[in-house]
Amino acid sequence: MRFFVDTADVDAIRELNALGMADGVTTNPSLILKSGRDILEVTREICSIVSGPVSAEVVALQADEMIAEGRKLAKIADNIAVKVPLTWDGLKACKVLSDEGHMVNVTLCFSANQALLAAKAGATFISPFIGRLDDINLDGMELIADIRTIYDNYGFDTQILAASIRSVNHMSQAALIGADVATAPPGVIKAMANHPLTDKGLDGFLKDWAKTGQKIL
C-alpha cells in the first residue's frame, strides 16, 4: 500500500519524504486554510518535494468551471492530480480532465455506487472517506472492502485511495483489505511506529546494557 500524506505542511512532507514514507500528497481547501498559504504557491512547493501524485482540489460547483480550475491546477507541475468532488458535475469534469491525460482524484466518496460511477468516468483515484462514515456510526472500512470487490470484479484501473484516516487501525485495516493507497495525516503515519512492548523491551535492554559498563562508541 502506498502512503500519501494528507497535509499542506511542507516541513512534515519533507520529513516523511526523506524516509520514503511519502508516495504522494493530498490537499483540500481545509488543509490549504490550515497552511495559511496561497494554494498555487504551496502546491508548487509540495510538487517540488515529492515525485508522486499531489492532489489539488477544485472549488467550483459547475463542470465547466471545475474543468477550467483543474486545467490551471494541472499546470503547476506534471505530478498534479486534480481533485474533484463526487457530484454529477464532478464526474463530468473527471471525464473531460482524464480524457485530456490529467490524473483525477474523485473525492468525498461515501458509497460503493459513487465509486462505481467514478471508475466509469475514468478517475485515477477514488477517495472514500473512512473517518467521516465512522463519525455517523457507519462502517468506513466496509466501504473500502465493497469498492475493492467491485473494482476487482470488473477490472477497473481506478485506484482506491483510503481517505479521512484518523487512526493507526484505519491504516492496517485498509492495508489488509487491499486499498491501493492510504492518505493520512503525518501524525498517524508516525504513530504507526509506536508499540508499548517495543518501549518496554528497549527499556529493559538499556538497563542491562548499563550494567555491562561497555560502550559501542
Active site residues: 83
Does position 2 interact with ligand G3P (CB under 6 A)? The reply is no
CA atoms in the 13 A half-sphere facing the CB of 177: 26
Does position 132 interact with ligand G3P (CB under 6 A)? The reply is yes
Does position 173 interact with ligand G3P (CB under 6 A)? The reply is no
Smaller CB separation from ligand G3P, 131 or 178? 131
Does position 163 interact with ligand G3P (CB under 6 A)? The reply is yes
Does position 69 interact with ligand G3P (CB under 6 A)? The reply is no
Q: Whole-angstrom Cα distance, residue 28 to residue 171?
A: 20
Does position 7 interact with ligand G3P (CB under 6 A)? The reply is no
Q: Please name the helix (run of DSSP H) or strand (run of DSSP E) that holds residue 34, with its range, or none.
A: helix 29-35
Q: What are phi and psi of 198, to 5 degrees?
A: -65, -45
Interface region with ligand G3P, contact rule CB under 6 A, candidates 84-92, 126-134, 149-157, 188-196: 126-134
Q: Are strands 159-162 and 125-128 parallel, antiparallel or unpaired?
A: parallel
CA 164, distance to chain mean position in Å, is: 8
CB 186, min distance to ligand G3P, A: 12
CA 147, distance to chain mean position in Å, is: 16
Among 3, 129, 151, 156, binds ligand G3P (CB under 6 A): 129
Q: Are strands 54-57 and 24-26 parallel, antiparallel or unpaired?
A: parallel
Which stretches of the chain bind ligand G3P, using CB under 6 A? 6, 26, 28, 127, 129, 131-132, 163-164, 166, 183
